[in-house]
Amino acid sequence: MQDTILDKIMKPKSIAVIGASTKEHTIGSDIMKRLQEYKFNGKIYPVNPKGGIIEGLQAYTSVLEIPETIDLAIVVVNAKFVLSTIDQCHEKGIKGVCIITAGFKETGKEGAELEKQLVEKLKEYGMRCVGPNCLGVVNTHPDIRMDGCFAESLPERGNIGFVSQSGALGGGILNILKDLNLGFAQFISIGNQADVNAETALEYWENEPDVEQILLYMESIQNPSNFRKLASRITKKKPILALKAGRSAAGASAASSHTGSLAGADKAAAALLQQSGVIREFSLKNLFATAKVFANCPIPKGDRVAIITNSGGPGIMATDAVCEYGMQMAKITDETKEKLRSFLPSAASVKNPIDMIASAPIEHYKQTLETVIADENVDMIIVIYLPFLGLKDIDVAEALMEIKAKNPQKPIIGVFMTKNEFFTKLSDKNVNMPFFMYAEEAADGLNRLNQQRLWMERPEGKVPCFDVDRQKVKEIIAKSVKEGRDQLTTLESIDVLQAYGIRACKYGLATNIDEVVTLGNSIGYPVVMKMTSKTTSHKTDVGGVVVNIRSEEQLRKEYEALLGRLEEKGLLEGLEGVIIQEMVKGNREMVCGIATDPQYGPMMMFGLGGVFVETLKDVTFRIAPLTDIDAKEMVQSVKAYKLLQGARGTTPAQINQIEETLLRLSQLVNDFKFIDELDINPLLISEKTGEGIAVDGRIKVRMNEAKEFLGCEVGCCSQMA
């Protein structure tokens, strides 16, 4: 349900500007001017201790003196007066506040304490607050017309809801909206996010008809699990575009596993946004280019693109760009081709791309576009214009927009390779379709539309619950923790995997030569011998892994040699024994893993493994818990997927079984949330059966959390919060 208290902020009928001023070029003065210049439809009450007249309105010395009911208080007083101002707002019965004032947690310890007190008061009084340290709020709806911020330019009307964590950035964007040919429905500068944050705005705008797309500029995501829950639902209804700043790998700087070293804060953010259906952009230019496409185009019914051009070269480049994005070049029907031939010159090409040739007049642009729109095989259209023979670019654009107005059902993007003056002229027009300078930009826009279509058609996905031996895992980890080890031995790690139904090599533990030989003979040669130690986790560094042991005699020799190497390095004391495993034949090595991001929680990894894992980095990440759709997409998204399908005559891998392995790992880390790192490297693809078999395992836990957890039971397969 929509937050009716937030309506007091975003749809107020009356506003008190506490800190209003007559002094030019102050925030208290600018806020008053913007509200009046934009013709706010409600009542404005300036509040200043000196009273008087401010911007032609009677000023009150206190908000308590205002005789009318107040919906929204915009607070621009000094930080030291904010708490007492909030007390007065509460006494007045005001439920919505926007605190422009800076001087809170962004300034250090003292400011953070002040903000903590502010939050306590807001909760106590049941108030909603935007800010502090923010630019303000905007609602361009004709019934509201609120410009409650201090950007220099008045806002442009549009269908975008925009949340900015940076006030200065938000103000800069408000100033250039006209040049961008974009407009906002609502704008919220969240500042320090003491109360209202990006998630609040998402939920508020979910069913707001005036907001048809949502843009986010974020430097952090406060509650990743709640963001995922909200965004996953909202993106099924309307697009969310995000520019997430701060692409560092600090979250994984101390990680020791393959998964951890490849992970990072930005990979976690990228995984979260992808799983939530959010379209991520990496620059403001791309963010607003995509927003322009969504503002003027419907979601297409398919990915078939038609290109209309008056020049062959740009048409070919556009075709390349469309194909590189994995979209299809539409197969123009014979009926459409015949109609095109009836008015285009004989030198024109009626195949896709449709080249009308350089002499094409406006009439040919109009007739060709109308004909292609009617083709049932076409879902999206790019129209390319290059200036030839005195044809005016703005005249062509207006002709296209006239046709678009009559045919709103399909996305149409204009590519006008002309002077910048053209785009300046467009800002004074009632633009109803996006225009770009280059074909690649148009293809990118269509790709984003198609991405949104695919997401909206994508099944919801389920988090499965498998029958596992949870108690056995608890006992294994309890033993390790009791001995003061945060790192499970190889044997313990494999036992954990098997307890969760993950296919591992047939194996056994041997602690002396007789047991070694007995195991080797019972499993059958060839076998692999791996040391398992409580003090050494990376076995290959000390020659602790020996493969392709083909006889009992060789097994005896390798075991004795291993003991000698460990004794020489002073590592014999930590040896728990050796694992004798069946040797699975296969050249395809994958990796599965779990790494924990301090903010986003456990991340699942899948990709090409073995010695290539950190070199080629053909891996993908998702935030746990995984749905069945997440697991399928993970496996299919890596380049090595072609190897799994059975390239060059190899046995096709059991894809479903590999997906299940990922889902079982997700359940494991959801049941035991203190697992910090986990690697299965390699997950070897058997040439005989195509199974993904865990040949090696490595698990690390967070000791303090593990100790706390082991005294209590929790249910498995808990759903996403």
Model confidence band, residue 720 (pLDDT cutoffs 50, 70, 90)? very low
Element (H, E) at 53: strand 53-54
Give the model's pLDDT for residue 4: 77
pLDDT band at 678 (very low <50, low <70, confident <90, very high): very high
Asked whether residue 353 is domain-assigned, the answer is: yes
Phi-psi region of 483 (alpha: psi -120 to 50; beta: other; left: phi over 0): alpha
**Residue 283: exposure state from Cβ atoms within 10 A (0-12, 13-18, ≥19):** exposed
- For residue 684, the model assigns a pLDDT of 93
Whether the per-residue pLDDT at 669 is higher than 80: the answer is yes
Q: Is residue 704 part of a domain?
A: yes
> Does the pLDDT value for residue 721 go beyond 60?
no
Indicate whether 431 and 564 sit together in one domain. no
The pLDDT of residue 380 is above 80: yes
User: Does residue 171 lie in a domain region?
Assistant: yes
Nearest to 38 by CA among 204, 174, 179, 216: 174
More confident residue, 573 or 70: 70
SS3 content of the chain, % helix, strand, coil (to 5): 40, 20, 35
What per-residue confidence (pLDDT) applies to 712?
A: 57
Query: What single DSSP character describes residue 487?
Result: B
For residue 542, the model assigns a pLDDT of 78
Distances (CA, A) of 339 to 357, 385, 711: 17, 21, 77
Instruction: State whether 475 and 449 are in the same domain.
Output: no
Structure tokens at 708: 């706390």
End-to-end CA distance of the chain: 18
For residue 644, being part of any structural domain is answered with yes
pLDDT given at position 158: 96
Last residue of a domain, one of 211, 236, 271: 211
CA dist., res. 98 & res. 100, Å (int):
6
32 with 90, same domain: the answer is yes
Query: Structural domain tally of the chain?
Result: 4
- Assess whether 453 and 490 both reside in one domain: no
Residues 603 and 703 in one domain: yes
Cβ count near 324 (within 10 Å): 11
- Give every CB contact of residue 619 below 8 A, 6+ residues apart in sequence: 262, 591, 605, 606, 607, 608, 613, 638
Inside any domain, residue 258: no
Is the residue at 347 inside a domain? yes
CATH of the domain at 349: 3.40.50.261
Cα–chain-centroid distance for residue 176? 26
* Residues across the chain: 721
Residue 467 pLDDT > 60, yes or no?
A: yes
Asked if residues 183 and 296 have their Cβ atoms less than 8 Å apart, the reply is no
Q: Tell me which of 223 and 258 has the higher pLDDT.
A: 223
Q: What digits encode the pLDDT tens for the residues 494-526?
A: 999 999 999 998 889 999 999 999 999 999 999
The domain in which residue 438 lies consists of 294-457
- What is 250-316 written as a DSSP string? GGGTT--SHHHHH--HHHHHHHHHHHTTPEEESSHHHHHHHHHHHHH-PPPSS-EEEEEESSHHHHH
Last residue of a domain, one of 540, 563, 582: 582
607 bridge partner residues: 591, 619
**Count of helix runs (H) and strand runs (E) in the chain:** 25, 30
In which element (H, E) is residue 552 found? helix 552-568
Residue whose tokens read 């991520």: 280
The span from the CA of 251 to the CA of 264, in Å, is 5
Find, among 685, 518, 678, the residue nearest to 605 by Cα.
678
In single-letter form, the type of residue at position 210 comes to D
pLDDT of res. 716: 45
Please give the structure tokens belonging to residue 480: 């390790």
Q: Answer whether residue 461 shows pLDDT above 60.
A: yes
Q: Are residues 305 and 357 in the same domain?
A: yes
Quickly state the pLDDT bin for 538 (edges 50, 70, 90). Answer: low
- The pLDDT confidence band at residue 616, using thresholds 50, 70 and 90, is confident
What average pLDDT does range 609-633 have in this prediction? 89
Q: Which of 716, 697, 710, 255 is nearest to 477 (CA)?
A: 710
Mean local confidence (pLDDT), 161-186: 91
What percentage of the chain has pLDDT greater than the value 90? 81
Cα separation, 332 vs 650, whole angstroms: 39
Distance between CA 464 and CA 459 in Å, rounded? 15
For residue 608, the cross-strand partners are 590
What confidence category does residue 379 fall into, taking pLDDT thresholds of 50, 70 and 90?
A: very high
- pLDDT number for residue 247: 62
Question: Are 279 and 290 spatial neighbours (Cβ–Cβ below 8 Å)?
Answer: yes
Question: Comparing C-alpha atoms, which of 382, 359, 357 is closest to residue 439?
Answer: 382
Contact 146, 137 (CB under 8 A): yes
Q: Above 80 in pLDDT, residue 673?
A: yes
Bigger pLDDT: 101 or 256?
A: 101
Question: Considering Cα of 147, then 149, then 153, then 155, what sign does the dihedral take?
Answer: negative
**280-327 pLDDT per residue, tens:** 999 999 999 999 999 999 999 999 999 999 999 999 999 999 999 999
- Measured CA to CA, the distance from residue 501 to residue 490 in angstroms comes to 17
Report the distance separating Cα 684 and Cα 695, nearest Å: 6
Domain CATH code at residue 683: 3.30.470.20
pLDDT tens digits, one per residue of 407-422: 999 999 999 999 999 9
Residue 113 is encoded by which pair of tokens?
């304490």
Instruction: Provide mean pLDDT across the span 248-263.
Output: 44
DSSP-derived pairing of the beta strands 380-385 and 304-309? parallel
Q: Do both 428 and 528 map to the same domain?
A: no
Asked if 221 contacts 251 with a C-beta cutoff of 8 angstroms, the reply is: no
Secondary structure element (H or E) that encloses residue 9, with its range: helix 4-10
10 Å CB burial of residue 64 (0-12, 13-18, 19+) is exposed
Inter-residue long-range contacts of 360-363, CB under 8 Å, 24+ positions, other chains counted: 360/310, 360/388, 360/391, 361/391, 362/391, 362/395, 362/396, 362/399
173 with 24, same domain? yes
Same domain for 417 and 475? no
DSSP assigned state of 60: B
What tokens were used for 431? 């633009």
Select from 461, 452, 457 the least CA-distant residue to 214.
Answer: 452
**pLDDT score of 255:** 40
What proportion of the chain, given as a percentage, has pLDDT over 70? 95
Partners of residue 382 on adjacent β-strands: 307, 413
Give CA–CA dist 464/452, Å, rounded: 26
**Averaged pLDDT, 16-33:** 96
| Per-residue pLDDT, 38 | 98
Judging by beta carbons within 10 Å of its beta carbon (0-12, 13-18, 19+), is residue 154 exposed, middle or buried? Answer: middle
- Please compute the mean of the pLDDT values over residues 96-112 and round it to a whole number: 96
* 395 burial type by CB count under 10 A (0-12 exposed, 13-18 middle, 19+ buried): exposed
Q: Are residues 28 and 139 in the same domain?
A: yes
User: Which of the listed residues 430, 457, 484 is the one where a domain comes to its end?
Assistant: 457
In DSSP terms, 224 is beta-bridged to: none
Q: Which two tokens stand for residue 468?
A: 């596992």
CA dist 681 → 29, 165, 499, 538, 591 (Å)? 63, 40, 18, 12, 5
Same domain membership, residue 518 and residue 596: no
Rounded to 5 degrees, φ, ψ at 608 are -70, 130
Range name among 183-187, 314-318, 573-577, 653-657 with the lowest pLDDT average: 573-577
Q: Which of 43-57, 219-233, 542-556 has the highest mean pLDDT?
A: 43-57
**Would residue 603 count as lying in a domain?**
yes
Minimum mean pLDDT range among 261-275, 297-311, 556-570, 596-610: 261-275
CATH code at position 14? 3.40.50.720
Banded pLDDT at 178 (limits 50, 70, 90):
confident
CA distances from 650 to 109, 235, 526, 653, 691 (A): 62, 40, 21, 9, 13
User: Rounded to 10 degrees, what is the CA torsion of 684, 686, 690, 693?
Assistant: -40
Residue 3 binned pLDDT confidence (cut-offs 50, 70, 90): low
pTM of this structure: 0.89
Which of 135-144, 257-266, 387-396, 568-577 comes out lowest in average pLDDT? 257-266
Question: Which tokens hold the place of 63?
Answer: 């908000």
Please state at what angle helix 655-671 crosses helix 628-637, rounded to 10 degrees. 120
> Cα separation of 671 and 717, whole Å?
7
The pLDDT confidence band at residue 250, using thresholds 50, 70 and 90, is: very low
Cβ-based neighbours of 573, under 8 Å, separated by 6 or more: 535
User: What's the CATH code of the domain at 562?
Assistant: 3.30.1490.20
- pLDDT band at residue 259 using 50, 70 and 90 as cut-offs: very low
In a domain, residue 682? The reply is: yes
Which residues face 129 on adjacent strands? Answer: 97
Q: Tell me, what's the pLDDT at 714?
A: 43
Residue 149 shares a structural domain with residue 182? yes
- Report pLDDT for 254: 38
